[in-house]
Amino acid sequence: MKRDILKVAGKSLKSRLIVGTGKYKNFSETAKAVKESGADMVTVAVRRVNILDKKKPLLTDYLNPKKIIYLPNTAGCFNSEEAVRTLRLAREMGGWKLVKLEVLGDKKTLYPNMLETIKSTKVLVKEGFKVMVYCTDDLILAKKLEDNGASAIMPLASPIGSGLGLQNKINISLIIKQSKVPVIIDAGIGTASDATIAMELGCDGVLINSAIANAKKPILMARAFKNAVISGRDSFLAGRMQKNYFASPSSPITGLI
């Protein structure tokens, strides 16, 4: 079978599952879950070093950025200035130009502020960043992001960390149909079957954090997602049968005794 590679911003990913590294019990569990998920790319956050605890372990000691693609995010940023500042620091840290932009608009729902998101996308693209953008499932705004140079459109399935799954399949399908850059579902996926549904719709990938990290057995759930994404993608490529209102026997009628 032909290898099915996800190309995003010049990078080739073997896995269509991208995983977040937050909310785990410890870095050891993070590393195990990432390994089991088979993901080539992980999202990471940029934060102040805890200077009071010199011995605190670092994420980079557990997940080698030379072996797995780090996708720095702007989680917690509520305006363009904060988001751009964060990503400039991320770029300085390791030369990362591929970044995940998320500019939030509301503390309770963590819904994206699309005005600030578009503004930031413009600035970052101009500075040479490759920007994967967390966004609402509004197709006009998704198009606007693409027109402004976004490397991937990443609409939410439902609010971040909610686990509510895909709430607006129609909009996601419309975004997929119109987009020339990869469409990756970011946020809201609750369980493995949600990821399969997203992939069957034709999404290019899914980004999962809470659904794995908050599972009772995160490492097992990481494997479940790996398989779910492969299944959904294969199912999409294979093309589902047509739906019929009436039954159609699977066993032939001819030769019936």
Partner 1 sequence: MAKIQLNGKKISIKSNFSLKDLLKKYNLFYKNVAIEHNGTIVPKINFKKKYLKNGDKVEVVHFIGGG
Which positions are catalytic? 100
Q: How far is CA 104 from CA 43, 186, 199, in A?
A: 17, 14, 25
What is the identity of the amino acid at 22? G
Binding segment for partner 1 (CB under 8 A), chosen from 14-22, 150-158, 195-203, 226-234, is 14-22
Q: Give CA 37 to chain center in angstroms.
A: 13
Counting contacts by CB under 8 A, is residue 257 touching partner 1? no
What would the x/- binding string for partner 1 be over residues 35 to 54, using CB under 8 A?
--------xxxxxxx-xx-x
Counting contacts by CB under 8 A, is residue 94 touching partner 1? yes
Among residues 30, 113, 151, 196, which is the contact residue for partner 1, using CB under 8 A?
30
User: Min. distance of Cβ 247 from partner 1 in angstroms?
Assistant: 44
Q: How far is CA 13 from CA 41, 62, 69, in A?
A: 8, 21, 9
SS3 72: strand
Query: CA-to-CA distance for 209 and 211, rounded, in angstroms?
Result: 6
Containing 133, the helix (H) or strand (E) segment is strand 130-135
Counting contacts by CB under 8 A, is residue 24 touching partner 1? yes
Instruction: Compute the Cα dihedral for 84, 90, 93, 94 and give only its sign.
Output: negative
Total count of residues recorded for the chain: 257
What would the x/- binding string for partner 1 be over residues 176 to 205, using CB under 8 A?
-----------x------------------
- Interaction site with partner 1 (CB under 8 A): 20-24, 27, 30, 43-49, 51-52, 54-55, 58-60, 65, 70, 72-73, 75, 85, 88-90, 92-94, 160-161, 187, 207, 209-210
